Amino acid sequence: MINLFGIVIILIVCPLLGAIPLISWITYALSGKQLAKVGTGNISVAAAFYHGGKLAGSICVVSEALKGVGVVTIAQYCFPSQPVWELIALIALVIGRYVATKGAGITNVSWGLLAHDPMVAAFVSLLAAMGFLITRSKETIKLGVLVIFPLFVGIIHSQDILRIIAAATLSGLIYWIYSQIPDDMNLPVEEAALESQPMMEYLNNQERIITLDDDLDGEVVGAKAATLSQIKRWGYAVPKGWVLPAGEDPTVLIDFLQPSPLSPLVVRSSAIGEDSQQASAAGQYETILNVISKVELRQAIAQVKASYDHPSAVEYRHRSSSEDRAMGVLIQQQVQSVFSGVAFSRDPISQQGEAVVIEAVSGSPTQIVSGKVTPEQYRVVVADNEKLSCLQFEGHGKVPEALIKQVAYLARRLEKRYLGIPQDIEWSYDGQNLWVLQTRPITTLLPLWTRKIAAEVIPGVIHPLTWSINSPLTCGVWGEIFSIVLGDRANRLDFATTATLHYSRAYFNASLLGEIFLKMGLPPESLEFLTRGASISKPALDSTLANLPGLTKLLKREIDLDKDFKLDYRQVFIPGLTQLSNVVIEELSLDQLLGRIDLILDLLHRGTYYSILAPLSAAIRQAVLGAKVEEIDNSVTPEVASLRAMRLLAADARQILIAGNYELKPEQVFAQLAETAAGSRILAEFNELIEDYGYLSEVGTDISVPTWRENPQIVRQLFIQLLQAPEAPNLDDSRSEQTNLVQRRVDLKGRVTEVYSRLLAELRWTFLALEQMWLQSGVLTQQGDIFFLKLEEIRRLGINPDVAFKNHIWELIANRRSQFIQDSQIPQIPPVVYGYNPPHPIKPVIDSSDNILLGIPASQGQIQGRVKVLRTLQEAHNIDKNTILVVPYTDSGWAPILVQAGGLIAEAGGKLSHGAIIAREYGIPAVMDVRGATYLLQDGQQVQIDGYKGTVEIL
């Protein structure tokens, strides 16, 4: 009979025992050092010796030995005749140890094996000791032990197959862990605890030479060397190189290298903190060329190290708020350059567009960095797609055009490798190979701001009042969600910078979001994957495991989302909305209006939590379960529910009206309906529908946009359009169980959207009442003024509207209104913005030679028709089923226009956007995320769109 109790003990208690950070507690108690914040951050016996000293390390050895012996003893007690469980217990212990503390658990395993099988442990220990005395190589001994251990188990216990498999699994697990974590034993000996330094010197006296072929840690050897080793392993051409970590004696490396006039070396800085996203340190440290002897090599190394303390370098670190760290040294074979230079994957001056800027000279690239030679200037506009083609070439000189193009493609490929972060690349060409000498972020172009997703969440040109409310709500709730996973690691992140306004449009901080998702153990493009169906890279397993407790908490929130919302709906949202709707806003005093705003904002804060998590939850379920968007019913979503209700009314009205009369003008149709009792009933239901859905607007998240209740004409036009339009296709109600699991979340998303939209409408109507009061008292001068104020300014104006402040407010409103109008007239804003102060946007260069545009397939079907470009709803006219609408984005208020068209092309959006949902509802082919569509396509142009493939063909 299976011992279930024993299995539970081993699989739960052993990992938990491994996760207890005794080493950290012991070291902190004896030395005051927190191992997670020093050295490599690993909580290991080696770290305890290195940072805490001999006493701390020795006690930690005992504590970890007891853990190893303890789990083996537990397994022996639970399974006295099945020794394989002793190895499984050690595996469970090691997993818990690694996930919680980033330790390998070697001490646990060594002593545990001694308790498990003394004979095997003795043989392996003896061979390891002899091997270390001979080779003095820790890496060789580690690998040897991991191979010898399962081999000995196989020899001694050849009949116990499960035991052999468990031993091999344990060795494989430890090997994998070793490949994932750095070792404190490799840190500079000089920085170890004083009493531990002799032991560290003995253990580190391996005379091992570090090369760029190794997997290097930037915190040990500097970012320059670590980056070059990374791109070399990616397959890029990087000159052969050797690395001298900070504080290490160069003698061994100097003895090994053989510089000569025929094989000169270059000695370069690789300071810790150099070439980072925070500070490039470009030109601050020495680079020594043409090193042709061992004497010159020693002098060059000393000179490069000394440059770290040069006054200008110290001042640079002070200005850039960089910590004083240490100087590593990189030595490389010198490329005999025919041409060389630097390349910027994005123009650091214009800070936008697709141009790669290249500076080139004949000979060494250091001439450019030093400023001694004026380089030739080139600009290459590169198509932002997979094939990388040249759209535009500027500049002329001695460097061949083909080589400059290759450098441009190299720059753009490296940028993609580094998740879209613009790169400053140093390159050299020797007549045969194009070498990468360095790549680092262009710090002046950070952070990256993106319109993707932001264009859907809060589209269009945004008033200051809308932003002053939406930004803290959205950024604050995102911060709360991220903090669930990250815990204390979220403390240093500034979630207030999650989004900002450029050109009066919302942008998300792609750099911050990428950093957050990486910290969470998820790919940096996770948000785009979840909300727009984009491709996603594989997350790093070790990072995901490290964040498993936080991700588990977030998963529990997702599982409980429906239950939590129902509870809040009954106890918070319904009472709040009832209280708001039972008041005549126009009769409220100034203080009551301000109090009403605070009440709505409190409700919105809770609602924002659901408005973020519900769509994400639906997207996660859809992605994981593979549910087809065509099978999902969005009828609970307010814009779809209102359309369906109106469609039923239109069908009833079609039976009453004389054939063809519903093609009359709206006023005539409504007048004819009023002539009969049945028609009057339809009109009453229509007015009731406007009342029920009066909170909807053209842009659901923008309180400056009039609602249906304020402007019912758009609803009347939609009703007439539905009268004239053919019946919408019947949707197939048959769904798989996977789709039903997604459907429940989509329904929740719809209910959340209704609550959130109602609250925003109540907020808008409250501000309008406040504005009317101030217009009458002279505090404001014209309609719409209040939307050019920020929330804190409105509060201050309500508390103390003194003359000086009112004059200041009038000036603010005038300036902001002028800026708003100016920004509204920008025909095309860039999808990506670099830095904090982007310049006025220029029209980007996009390859228009290809007659196929690519996007995201959002609604199935094919159609050919004429283009109608709509940048705002006010431009909508003469739209029919032969019209293919081309829009910058779609929101809930666009539904009346979309249902009139035969097809839809949108610059922003994905399969879950408003436009995609409406298009699927009415069987309209749609392609979303077609970059530059509103200015690549022109009114009257004939195109064919394919909603299956996501293509737009210009005919």
Please state, rounded to an integer, the average pLDDT across all residues of the chain: 84
Distance CA 538, CA 561 (A): 27
Q: 833 pairs with which residues across the strands?
A: 449
Distances 558 to 79, 473, 617 between C-alpha atoms, Å: 39, 20, 6
Predicted local confidence at residue 371, as pLDDT: 56
Q: Name the residue with higher pLDDT: 8 or 344.
A: 344
Note the pLDDT tens digit of each residue in 261-288. Answer: 999 999 998 888 665 554 444 557 888 9
The top-scoring range by mean pLDDT among 113-117, 699-703, 940-944 is: 940-944
Predicted local confidence at residue 280, as pLDDT: 47
Q: How confident is the model at residue 734 (pLDDT cuts 50, 70, 90)?
A: low
**Helix boundaries (H) for 237-335:** 251-256, 294-306, 311-319
DSSP code of residue 244: E
Tokens of 466: 């809308």
Q: Which whole number is the average pLDDT over 653-665?
A: 66
Distance CA 259, CA 207 (A): 19
User: What is the phi/psi pair of residue 364, to 5°?
Assistant: -75, 145
Burial class (CB in 10 A: 0-12, 13-18, 19+), 385: exposed
Contacts of residue 351, Cβ cutoff 8 Å, sequence gap at least 6 = 444, 445, 833, 834, 835, 838, 839
Q: How confident is the model at residue 807 (pLDDT cuts 50, 70, 90)?
A: confident
Contacts of residue 303, Cβ cutoff 8 Å, sequence gap at least 6 = 267, 286, 288
> What's the pTM value of the predicted model, to 2 decimals?
0.71
Predicted local confidence at residue 383, as pLDDT: 81
Q: Which whole number is the average pLDDT over 741-747?
A: 88
Distance CA 104, CA 99 (A): 10
Distance CA 923, CA 725 (A): 12
Q: How is 589-629 classified by DSSP, letter by letter?
A: -HHHHHHHHHHHHHHHHHHHHHHHHHHHHHHHHHHHHT--G
- Is the predicted pLDDT of residue 210 greater than 80, yes or no? yes
Closest CA to 268 of 292, 243, 250: 243
Q: 394 pairs with which residues across the strands?
A: 379
**Helix boundaries (H) for 423-463:** 454-457
Q: Which whole number is the average pLDDT over 753-779?
A: 94
Predicted local confidence at residue 281, as pLDDT: 47
Q: Which whole number is the average pLDDT over 78-84?
A: 88
Predicted local confidence at residue 331, as pLDDT: 95
**Contact (CB, 8 A) for 527 and 453:** yes
- Positive or negative torsion for Cα 133, 134, 139, 142: negative
Distance CA 248, CA 244 (A): 6
Question: Using DSSP, how many helices (H) and how many strands (E) does the chain show?
Answer: 37, 23
Contacts of residue 553, Cβ cutoff 8 Å, sequence gap at least 6 = 484, 485
Closest CA to 64 of 83, 85, 44, 47: 44
DSSP code of residue 874: G
DSSP code of residue 859: E
Predicted local confidence at residue 689, as pLDDT: 92
**Contact (CB, 8 A) for 865 and 941:** no
Distance CA 870, CA 593 (A): 37
Helix (H) or strand (E) holding 415: helix 401-417
- Is the predicted pLDDT of residue 451 greater than 80, yes or no? yes
Predicted local confidence at residue 432, as pLDDT: 93
Q: Which whole number is the average pLDDT over 744-773?
A: 95
Closest CA to 65 of 96, 107, 101: 107
Q: Name the residue with higher pLDDT: 727 or 225.
A: 225
The amino acid at 137: S
Distance CA 321, CA 888 (A): 40
- Is the predicted pLDDT of residue 762 greater than 70, yes or no? yes
- Is the predicted pLDDT of residue 562 greater than 60, yes or no? yes
Distances 709 to 688, 694, 706, 715, 787 between C-alpha atoms, Å: 11, 4, 8, 9, 19
Predicted local confidence at residue 776, as pLDDT: 92
User: Parallel, antiparallel, or unpaired for β 951-954 and 942-946?
Assistant: antiparallel
Distance CA 520, CA 515 (A): 9
Closest CA to 17 of 86, 79, 96: 96
**Contact (CB, 8 A) for 537 and 526:** no
**Contact (CB, 8 A) for 342 and 359:** yes
**Helix boundaries (H) for 136-273:** 138-156, 161-180, 197-204, 218-221, 223-234, 251-256
**Contact (CB, 8 A) for 913 and 858:** yes
Predicted local confidence at residue 816, as pLDDT: 95
Closest CA to 609 of 573, 650, 651, 661: 573
Q: How confident is the model at residue 110 (pLDDT cuts 50, 70, 90)?
A: confident
Q: How confident is the model at residue 931 (pLDDT cuts 50, 70, 90)?
A: confident
Predicted local confidence at residue 400, as pLDDT: 93
**Helix boundaries (H) for 347-400:** 366-370
Q: How confident is the model at residue 800 (pLDDT cuts 50, 70, 90)?
A: confident
Q: How confident is the model at residue 403 (pLDDT cuts 50, 70, 90)?
A: very high
Q: Name the residue with higher pLDDT: 628 or 172.
A: 172
**Contact (CB, 8 A) for 549 and 484:** no
- Is the predicted pLDDT of residue 242 greater than 90, yes or no? yes
Distance CA 785, CA 789 (A): 7
Tokens of 737: 């169980």
Q: Which whole number is the average pLDDT over 212-223?
A: 85
- Positive or negative torsion for Cα 150, 156, 160, 161: positive
Note the pLDDT tens digit of each residue in 616-645. Answer: 888 878 877 777 777 788 888 898 888 888
- Helix, strand, or coil here: 834? strand
**Contact (CB, 8 A) for 877 and 717:** no
Q: Which whole number is the average pLDDT over 915-926?
A: 83
Altogether, the residues listed in the chain come to a count of 955
